[in-house]
Amino acid sequence: MDALNSLMDGFGTALTPVNLLWAALGVLLGTAIGVLPGIGPAMAVALLLPVTYGLEPIGAFIMFAGIYYGAMFGGSTTSILLNTPGESAAVVAAMEGNPMAKAGRGAQALAAAAIGHFAGGLIGTVLLVALAPTVADLAVDIGAPDYFAIMVLAFIAVTSVLGSSRIRGLASLLIGLTLGLVGLDQMTGQQRLTFGSLQLADGIDVVIVAVGLFAIGEALWVAAHLRRSPGRPIPVGRPWLGRDDVRRTWKSWLRGPLIGFPFGAIPAGGAEIPTFLSYATEKRLSKHPDDWGKGAIEGVAGPESAASASAAGTLVSMLTLGLPTTAVAAVMLAAFQQYGIQPGPLLFEREPDLVWGLIASLFVGMVLLLALNLPLAPVWAKLLRIPRPYLYAGILFFAAVGAYAVGGEVIDLVILLIIGLIGFGMRRYGLPVLPAVIGVILGPNAEQQLRRALQISDGSVSGLVDTPFAVTVYAVTALLLLWPLLRKVVTRVRARA
Partner 1 sequence: MRLSTPLALFGAAVLVLVGPPLLTAGGGAETGTQIPGLRFMVPNTPGGGYDITARTAAKNAEDAELTHNIEVFNLPGAGGTVGLSRLVSEHGNGKLAMSMGLGVVGAVRSNDAPKTLADTTPIARLTEEQDVVVVSKDSPYKSVDQLVDAWKANPGKLPVGGGSSPGGPDHLAPMLMAKAAGIAPKDVNYVPFDGGGELLASILGDKVAFGVSGVGEYLDQIKAGELRVLAVTGPERVDELDAPTLKESGYDVDFTNWRGIVAPPGLSEAERDKLVRLVEELHDSPEWQKSLRTNGWDDAFLTGTEFGEFLDAQDERVVSVLKELGL
Q: Which of 321, 360, 368, 377 binds partner 1 (CB under 8 A)?
A: 321
Three-state SS for 129?
Answer: helix
Told to check if 181 binds partner 1 by CB under 8 A, we report no
Told to check if 144 binds partner 1 by CB under 8 A, we report yes
Cβ distance to partner 1 smaller for residue 24 or 354: 354
Three-state SS for 365?
Answer: helix
Write down the least CB distance from residue 4 to partner 1, Å.
24
User: Restricting to residues 51-70, which ones interact with partner 1 according to CB under 8 A?
Assistant: 53
Told to check if 410 binds partner 1 by CB under 8 A, we report no
Told to check if 333 binds partner 1 by CB under 8 A, we report yes
Instruction: Kindly determine how many residues on this chain lie close enough to bind partner 1 according to the rule CB under 8 A.
Output: 53
C-beta separation of 432 from 173 below 8 A: no
Nearest to 238 by CA among 93, 97, 100: 100
Nearest to 217 by CA among 206, 226, 209: 209
Told to check if 394 binds partner 1 by CB under 8 A, we report no
Concatenated DSSP letters of 466-494: -SHHHHHHHHHHHHHHHHHHHHHHHHHHH
Site string for partner 1, 249-268 (x = CB under 8 A): ------------------xx
Q: Which of 159, 160, 178, 338 binds partner 1 (CB under 8 A)?
A: 338
Cβ distance to partner 1 smaller for residue 139 or 241: 139
Cβ distance to partner 1 smaller for residue 49 or 170: 49
Going 291 to 379 to 368 to 92, the CA torsion angle's sign is: positive
Torsion angles phi and psi, residue 48, rounded to 5: -80, -15
Q: Which of 15, 28, 46, 480 binds partner 1 (CB under 8 A)?
A: 46
Cβ distance to partner 1 smaller for residue 184 or 417: 184
CB count, 10 Å around CB of 210?
A: 31
C-beta separation of 211 from 84 below 8 A: yes
Three-state SS for 297?
Answer: coil
Stretch that binds partner 1, among 121-129, 207-215, 405-413, 416-424 (CB under 8 A): 405-413
Told to check if 8 binds partner 1 by CB under 8 A, we report no
b/e per residue 212-229 (b: at least 16 CB within 10 A):
bbbbbbbbbbbeeeeeee
Q: Which of 159, 160, 178, 199 binds partner 1 (CB under 8 A)?
A: 199
Cβ distance to partner 1 smaller for residue 223 or 393: 393
Cα 301 from Cα 486, distance rounded (Å): 30
Cα 242 from Cα 252, distance rounded (Å): 16
Q: Which of 134, 337, 472, 491 binds partner 1 (CB under 8 A)?
A: 337
Q: Which residues contact 222 (CB under 8 A, 6 or more apart)?
A: 388, 392
- List the alpha helices (DSSP H) in 140-236: 144-158, 166-181, 206-210, 217-225
Told to check if 189 binds partner 1 by CB under 8 A, we report yes
Site string for partner 1, 432-461 (x = CB under 8 A): --------------------x--xx-xx--
Told to check if 407 binds partner 1 by CB under 8 A, we report yes
Cβ distance to partner 1 smaller for residue 178 or 199: 199
Q: Which residues bind partner 1 (CB under 8 A)?
A: 42-43, 45-47, 49-50, 53, 139-144, 184, 186-189, 191, 198-199, 201-202, 267-268, 321-325, 330-331, 333-334, 337-340, 342-347, 407-409, 452, 455-456, 458-459
